[in-house]
Amino acid sequence: MVGGKSPIDAFKCQLVCKLFRDSATLDTIYQTMDKKRLRFRPFSADMYEVLRRCRKLNNPYILFNYGMLGEDDAGKQLLQYATDKGQLDAIFVLGMLLMAEGSERKQEALIMLNNAYINTRRCWNLRQTCYKVRSHLDACLVEFAKMFDISLE
C-alpha cells in the first residue's frame, strides 16, 4: 500500500534490506502507482520499463494516461478499462465523450457519472477533476510540442 502511494519511497526501500527489496518489486505496487509521483529523466529507459510494467498490469492511472493519448476507439477502450477499475478522471472523461456522441449515449453517461458520484459517498470534487484533466491535456500538448520541436506561442 505504501509503495502505491509513494513509489519513490518503495524504490528507496530496496536499499534498506532484503525483505524491503523483495517487496518493492511486487506487482501490487505497479498496479496502483501514479506516474505523476515518479521522478525520471525525460525519455529514460527506466521510466519506460516502469510504465510498460504498469500498463501490462492494468494500472488504472497509466491506462488513463494512455487513453488520453490514444486515437478514437483505442483511446476510448483504454479509458473504459480505467473506468472499470474506478479511476475517477477516466470516468469523467469517458462520460463527457459519451455525452458528445449523441442523445442515445447521454443516458448511459449520466448513469455512469451518477454511480461514480454515489460510490464516492457524494464527495467527488468535479471541479478538481476538471482541473486535473485540463492540466493533463496541457502537459500532453507541451510534450507533443517538444517531440516535434513546435513552438506553442
Looking at residue 16, what is its pLDDT? 67
Averaged pLDDT, 109-132: 90
* Radius of gyration (C-alpha) of the chain in whole angstroms: 17
pTM: 0.75
Query: Cα(13)–Cα(23) distance, rounded to whole angstroms?
Result: 9
Least confident of 53-62, 107-116, 128-137, 138-147: 138-147
pLDDT of residue 53: 87
* Banded model confidence at residue 38, pLDDT cuts 50, 70, 90: low
Residue carrying C-alpha cell 529523466: 41
Residue 132, pLDDT score = 87
What is the tens place of the pLDDT at every residue in 42-93?
A: 667 777 888 888 889 999 988 998 888 877 789 899 999 999 999 999 999 9
Q: What does the CA dihedral 87, 93, 96, 102 come to, rounded to 10 degrees?
A: -100
